[in-house]
Amino acid sequence: MRTQVAIVGCGPAGLFLSHLLHRAGIESIIIENRSRAYIEARIRAGVIEDWAADLMVETGVGQRMQREGLIHGGIHFSFNGSLHRIDFHDLVGKGIMVYGQHEVVKDMIAQRLAEGVQIIFDVDDVSVHDMATETPCVRFRKDGVTEEIACDFIGGCDGFHGISRPSVPAGVLTEYERVYPFGWLGILAEAPPVSEELIYAYHDRGFALFSMRNPHVVRLYLQCDPDEDINNWPDGKIWDELQARLAPEAAAKLQRGPIFQKGVTAMRSFVTEPMQYGRLFLAGDAAHIVPPTGAKGMNLAIADVLVLTNAIKGFYSAGRTDLLDAYSATCLRRVWKAQRFSWWMTQMLHQDPEHNPYDRKRQLAELDYVTSSRVAATSLAENYVGLPLEV
C-alpha cells in the first residue's frame, strides 16, 4: 500500500488529521488495533472548546453535534454549601459545547468512510520504520497477513499506550510526568442533570463533578483512591456520596436513575518533548496527557493535528519544511498552557492526602477569589473555552 500520510490510531487525533488532510487534497490511511464497535462505544471526554466546535461545523462534521450537543455559557463551583457561577459569555463572549467524544468519533468515522478514506480496523503487530528517512513506512498484520504502508509522513495518534512514542530511539525524547494520589470514579446514569451547566464540587469528603451527555443521561464523577476497587461501590453508595458532596440547593434536585456504566480512572499529567522524530509526528495522547479536570484532552488533540495539517500542506504545496520543523515548538506552547490550567484546576478542587488544614483553607480562599474577582474569573473562562490558536 502507498499513501502520503499513514496514521496510526483511529481516535479523535487520527480521525481529525485524516479529515483535515482530505480537505487539503492529501491522501491518508488509518490503521487501528481495536474494532470499530469498540472505539465508537469508548466513553471519554465531553467538553469541546469554542474554536473546536466551530472547526467541526466549518469542515462539515458538526451537523449532528449542532442538533444534539448542549451549548453551555458557564460552569458552577460548589463549595461552603453554595453554588457560584462563572459566566463565560459575559466574561469572554464565548461558551463550550458538551458532546461526547465517542459521538465525535462516530461522526468522524462515518465521514471518513463516506469520503473513501481507508480505515483498517482490528490490526495487530503494528510497527513504524525508517522515520528518520524520507521513506518511512508502517507495518502491521491483518487477518494473519503482514501488510506495509509506504508513506511520506507518519501520524502517531495511537494514544498513551500506543507504539508510536516508544518507537523513537532512546535518548531522543524527554518525558515530564506528574502522577496524582487520587483517581475519579465515573458513572453514566439515566437521570436528568441537576443543573443545565457543569458543577465542580469542592468538599471535605473529596471532589465531585456533575456533568451530562444529554438531557436524559448524566456523567458524574467522585474523587477516590487511584486503585479503588469498583466492586466496593454499589449504586446506592455512589448516589449517597454524590449527594453529600453537592451544595444543598443542587443536591435537592439530584435524581437517582439506573447506572449503566462505572469505572475508576487514575489521574496523571504527562508531556513528551519533542513531539516529533524525523517524519514521525506524535499527536494527542501519544504526546501528552492532562487530568480531565480542565477538559482539555480532545481539544489539544484537535489543535495538534490542525498544526500538523498546515505543516504538511506547506510541504506539498510549496516545498516548505520550516512548519514541519516547528511542529513541536508550536504545539508545546499550547500544551504547556493547558497543562498549567489542568493542574491548577486539579490542585484547587481535590483533597490531597498530604494536605493539612492550612492547605484546605488556602483552597477555599482560592475558590472564593476565583468566584468573586472578575479578573480571576476572566482568566479561568479564557482558558476553559479555549485559548487563541497558533497554527
| Residues 339-359: tens digit of each pLDDT | 999 999 999 999 999 999 999
pTM over 0.85: yes
**Conformational region of residue 116, where left means phi above 0, alpha means psi within -120 to 50, and beta covers everything else:** left
Per the domain annotation, does 389 fall within a domain?
A: no
Please report, for the domain that includes residue 332, its CATH number.
Answer: 3.50.50.60
Residues annotated as catalytic (active site), given as ranges: 72, 200, 292, 296, 384
For the chain, what is the mean pLDDT?
A: 96
State the DSSP string of 81-134.
Answer: TEEEEEEHHHHHS--EEE--HHHHHHHHHHHHHHTT-EEE-S-EEEEEE-TTSS
Percent of the chain clearing pLDDT 90 (strictly above): 97
pLDDT at 144 over 90: yes
Percent of the chain clearing pLDDT 70 (strictly above): 100
State the DSSP string of 293-311.
Answer: GG--HHHHHHHHHHHHHHH
Tally of domains in the chain:
1
With bands split at pLDDT 50, 70 and 90, how would you rate the model's confidence at 16? very high
Per the domain annotation, does 168 fall within a domain?
A: yes
Reading the block at residue 261, the C-alpha cell is 456504566
Neighbours of 309 (CB within 10 A): 23
Look at residue 3 in the predicted model and tell me its pLDDT. Answer: 98
Per the domain annotation, does 325 fall within a domain?
A: yes
Owning domain of residue 115: 5-72+95-176+268-352
Q: At 350, which amino acid appears?
A: H
Look at residue 257 in the predicted model and tell me its pLDDT. Answer: 97
3-state secondary structure of 14: helix
Greatest C-alpha distance within the chain: 62
Mean pLDDT value across residues 30-47: 91
**Sheet holding 96-98: strands in order across?**
47-48, 96-98, 70-72
With bands split at pLDDT 50, 70 and 90, how would you rate the model's confidence at 35? very high
Per the domain annotation, does 119 fall within a domain?
A: yes
Look at residue 313 in the predicted model and tell me its pLDDT. Answer: 98
Per the domain annotation, does 318 fall within a domain?
A: yes
Per the domain annotation, does 210 fall within a domain?
A: no
Per the domain annotation, does 68 fall within a domain?
A: yes
Pick the closest to residue 96 from 391, 340, 379, 383 (CA basis).
Answer: 383
pLDDT at 45 over 90: no
pLDDT at 240 over 90: yes
- pLDDT tens digit sequence for 309-346: 999 999 999 999 999 999 999 999 999 999 999 999 99
Look at residue 46 in the predicted model and tell me its pLDDT. Answer: 86
Mean pLDDT value across residues 268-272: 97
Q: In which element (H, E) is residue 146 found?
A: strand 145-150
Per the domain annotation, does 136 fall within a domain?
A: yes
